[in-house]
């Protein structure tokens, strides 16, 4: 069973943040540096802060807080398809700069962006031009280590 890590690579530098109206870096707490689906976890929820159904990873854009939905996206583990990202939002979730349609199997090195300023006008499956985002992540897949007996080479359960 593998671990899926989305590692933050947000590319909105300070000048672009100021131009976009990002007030301060205090909201960096809602741009987690890592989002992880660990071995044994079936699913994680990513979204805006919500008291009814709190997300596992609360996120918020400094560009426009309305680009992120309360139940924005989930990553689910599937025995047959690996780790699948589902978009449940109005403004989209993008894998390699294409709006997610249905579920997308994540691959090592994929780029995931949550929200887009023009997302409500973009159709699922539609590619978009490269864009700067404070909620941009790179997918890292790693197999969980198995405990092996070095002397006999057998796998311990």
Residue 154 within a domain: no
Residue 155 lies in a domain: no
Whether 18 maps to a domain, the answer reads: yes
Is the confidence at residue 101, as pLDDT, over 90? yes
Residue 61 is assigned to a structural domain of this protein: yes
Q: 75 near 106, Cβ under 8 Å?
A: yes
pLDDT at position 96 over 60: yes
Beta strands 111-114 and 136-143, pairing class? antiparallel
C-beta separation of 101 from 92 below 8 A: no
pTM over 0.85? The answer is no
Please count the structural domains in the chain.
Answer: 1
- Give the separation between CA 64 and CA 70, rounded to whole angstroms: 14
pLDDT score recorded for residue 149 = 33
> What is the 3-class SS of the chain, one letter each residue?
CEEEEEEECCCCCHHHHHHCCCCCHHHHHHCCCEEEECCCCCEEEEECCCCCCCCCEECCCCCCHHHCCCCCEEEEEECCCEEEEEECCCCCEEECCEECCCEEECCCCCEEEECCCCHHHCCCCCECCCCCCCCEEEEEEEECCCCECCCCCCECC
Q: Does residue 157 sit within a domain? A: no
The mean pLDDT value for 69-95 works out to: 96
Residue 106 sits in which domain range? 2-143
Q: Does pLDDT of 58 surpass 50? A: yes
pLDDT recorded at residue 21: 58
pLDDT of residue 22: 61
Residue 148 above 50 pLDDT? no
Give the CATH number, domain containing residue 49.
Answer: 2.60.200.20
């Amino acid at each position: 069973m593998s671990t899926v890590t989305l590692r933050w690579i947000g590319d909105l530098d300070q000048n672009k943040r100021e131009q976009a109206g990002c007030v301060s870096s205090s909201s960096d707490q809602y741009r987690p540096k890592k989002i992880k689906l660990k071995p044994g976890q079936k699913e994680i929820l990513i979204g805006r802060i919500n008291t009814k159904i709190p997300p596992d990873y609360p996120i918020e854009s400094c560009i426009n807080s309305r680009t992120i939905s309360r139940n924005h996206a989930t990553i689910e583990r599937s025995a047959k398809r690996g780790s699948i990202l589902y978009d449940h939002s109005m403004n989209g979730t993008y894998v390699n700069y294409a709006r997610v349609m249905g579920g997308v199997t994540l691959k090592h090195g994929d780029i995931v962006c949550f929200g887009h300023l023009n997302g409500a006008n973009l159709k699922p499956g539609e590619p978009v031009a490269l864009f700067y985002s404070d909620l941009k992540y790179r997918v890292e897949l790693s197999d969980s280590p198995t405990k092996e007996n070095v002397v006999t080479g057998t796998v311990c359960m």
